[in-house]
Chains A and B, each alone.
Chain A
Amino acid sequence: MKNPINDIENNKSIEHELSAPIIETLGISKVYRIGSTMVSPVTDVTLQVGYGELVIIFGPSGAGKSTLISMLMGLEKPDVGEVFFKGVSLYNYTDEQRAVIRLKKVSYLPQTQYWIDKLSIVDNVALPLLLQGWSKSKARTKAKEYLKKVGISPDLKQAPDQLSSGQQQKVALARALIKDPWIIFADEPTAHLDSKSVDEVAQILVDTAEKQKITIVMVTHDLSFLKLSKKWLFMQDGRLWNIEDKQNPFTNIKQVIDYIEVQKEKEKED
């Protein structure tokens, strides 16, 4: 079994061992105490994500998706179960080693973008490389290259918040891709975008991921991604269901979508 830390240190590109998953969980659960009651946002989740796969996780708000992603990214240790990253138990690494994995080979694409106000879009995109210790000029060159890839003109003076939300998401995509990650965790990356921007962002993300063999684990409500993925999972009350699982409370994807739509409406009414 390969050690991902060694791979990172030797700057090796990912090996696509189709037989082994890049991320695997074995019955992971997380339990919190809220007052006198115990809450389990993630319960007994077993999951396998293969190299280069695009995995879509559906689920209503509060289903435990963020806690699951947090555990998959090495930010929060499960109370029960194991997370394996490239076959090695992720939480056997120290905090620092897990941070190094995230620093170099894991990206996160959130719903709402965070920008460092005083930095230009180029420097914001270059940020993951600057955090790795790249020189400013090299990092900027690569950032400009990635901005062009996502269709944004690299302007050293322009601040990200001067862009439209669709353009901002493309810049965020460039920032997620710039470190040549092995895996991108995306949390509703197109939630606030118009349909044209959703299609554009989805296409760029999926095309680049396919070209560079990047694995994507995406939490989304957006049906545009359904057609782009072959692996759909559904999360409800802390449990994760494969859509084809016979124990799944829903018999097909349409039921899942309807359920999510109803939940969304309820949330709006609340």
Chain B
Amino acid sequence: MRRQLFFIRLALINTFKKRLRAVLAIGVIALTSAVVVVLFGVDIGLHNLVQNEINQSDSTDVVTVTLRNTQQVKLDDTAISRIKSISSVGQVVQFVGIFGTAVLHDINLNMPLYAVSPEYFMLGSTISIAGDLNKQPSDNNVVVSKKVIEIYGMKLDQAVGQKIKIKATLTSDNTGSSVSTDTKESPIQEYTIVGVIDRGDLPLAYIPIDNIKKLGLTSVNQVKVRLTDVNRVGEVRESIEQQGFQTTSIIDTINQVDRLFAVIRSVLVIFGIIVFVVTISATFTIISLTLMEETKQVGFLRINGFLKRDVNMLFLIQSIVLTLLGAVGGSILGTISGNILNVFSRSVASGEAFSSDVTIFETPIAAIVIIIALSVVTGWMVSQIPIKRAVSINPLQELKE
């Protein structure tokens, strides 16, 4: 054991004999490894961030049904009943986008108005920034966007419970009128604000669909279907599409995102291979130079009873010390840089635009383990040719020269 410890000491002496060269080699390996760690970390972070945001918008067990471009088939009560009758279909919530006007303190605000079922928000994961969205909007309640509150000069914490008057306008598409210019206006009705959501700079409001149906709404733009069995998404979508509707699911987006990140990862793997080659070249050069400079040492040690396997071990340790230090240093550097990137991105990203903390870098544990394992393999690989040369030298001849 003491002998082996001495070999390690000797290997370290040899490795750092030319300090600048060793530091440069380790630096190159560390820098390239750090870039790989950052890229893989950002890949994982962004992927998770995007997926998280997607998951926040809809659940995977929800299918959105919309009209085809032709609009020959309407999403009316009959169609909705047929959808409800499909096996595994649970909740069905309706949605229609109409034109609306809000009136408060004699200020009229034209804005999009969404008439929805009370379970609408329960199917997605929209988070209220004030009030409660549970089973809302119902009766004469309304959910508004933050912009509406701002326009009317209300404070966010005082908005819930405030009254607001809303007038809705239906077009012929909504009423099924054959005259395309036919519009129908609802009387101005007072609503109570029960929730506020963040939609950026867009003023809009969600009102109960039943209130609009009373005006003669015959069909809606969209229904969301929650399934009782998430594994039957495909079959349910097929049944709905057979009825002439178009369906989308968050799974589509997730698959697209996955495909995009698969491409990004392939690029990263290619980059990783380049890093691997750089590491091999740097280490091989250093080890070969060390051998050229240390042939006298090898000769001296061989004369003094150094076995071939001892020479092997000496060069192996030197090689692995370089690659391992580079890889570990690079992993630490990459992780620190990634976390700095997180702090920076959090400071520039609007917190309200994301449902949770913005984390664009996540420590890529698997990539780090692979980098470290590869560094050991690389160290072993690049030492083999110098080792072969070292054990084949004539010890006396080397010492004499």
Contact = CB atoms under 8 A, between A and B. Distances in A.
Given A111-B400, A112-B400, A95 B307 contact: yes
B399 interface: yes
B303 A73 contact: yes
Interface stretch (B2-10, B111-119, B259-267): B2-10
B297 A114 contact: yes
A100 interface: yes
A102 B303 contact: yes
A62 to B, nearest CB: 12
A194 to B, nearest CB: 22
B242 interface: no
Main secondary structure of the interface of B (DSSP, over half): helix
Contacts of B308: 95
A96 interface: yes
Interface stretch (B82-90, B135-143, B274-282, B390-398): B390-398
Contacts of A69: 396
A113 B394 CA distance: 17
A116 B13 contact: yes
B400 A119 contact: no
B306 A119 contact: no
Contacts of A75: 302-303, 394-396
Given A70-B396, A102-B303, A116 B297 contact: yes
Given A70-B394, A114-B297, A116-B297, A104 B6 contact: no
A103 B400 contact: no
Interface stretch (A43-51, A84-92, A124-132): A124-132
A73 B296 CA distance: 17
A91 to B, nearest CB: 16
Contact of A131 (B3, B297, B299): B3
B380 interface: no
Which residue, B6, B10, B296, B297, has most C-beta atoms of chain A within 10 A?
A: B6
Contact of B305 (A66, A103, A112, A117): A103
Interface in A172-188: 187
B12 to A, nearest CB: 9
B178 interface: no
Nearest to A107: B304
A110 interface: yes
B306 A99 contact: yes
B68 interface: no
The bracket for how many chain B residues form the interface is: 20 to 34
A66 B396 contact: yes
Given A116-B10, A118-B13, A127 B400 contact: no
Nearest to B2: A133
B23 to A, nearest CB: 16
B6 A108 contact: no
B395 A99 contact: no
B3 A132 contact: yes
Interface string B1-28: 1110010001001000100000000000
A104 B10 contact: no
B156 interface: no
B109 to A, nearest CB: 80
B297 A130 contact: no
Contacts of B394: 70, 75-76
B297 to A, nearest CB: 7
B300 interface: yes
B270 interface: no
B188 interface: no
B299 to A, nearest CB: 8
A100 B303 CA distance: 10
A55 to B, nearest CB: 18
B292 interface: no
Contacts of B1: 133
B400 A102 contact: no
Interface string A117-145: 11100000001101111111000000000
A241 B321 CA distance: 51
A102 B304 CA distance: 6
Given A116-B10, A116-B297, A130-B6, A108 B305 contact: no
Interface of B: 1-3, 6, 10, 13, 17, 296-297, 299-308, 394-397, 399-400
27 contacts: A70-B395, A73-B303, A75-B394, A100-B305, A101-B305, A102-B303, A102-B305, A103-B305, A103-B306, A104-B305, A108-B303, A108-B396, A110-B400, A111-B400, A114-B300, A114-B399, A116-B297, A119-B13, A130-B3, A131-B3, A131-B301, A131-B305, A133-B2, A133-B3, A135-B2, A136-B2, A187-B396
Interface of A: 66, 69-70, 73, 75-76, 95-96, 99-104, 106, 108, 110-112, 114, 116-119, 127-128, 130-136, 187
Given A99-B302, A111-B400, A130-B3, 18 more contacts: A69-B396, A70-B395, A73-B303, A75-B302, A75-B395, A76-B394, A99-B305, A114-B296, A116-B10, A117-B13, A128-B305, A130-B6, A131-B3, A131-B301, A131-B305, A131-B306, A132-B305, A187-B400
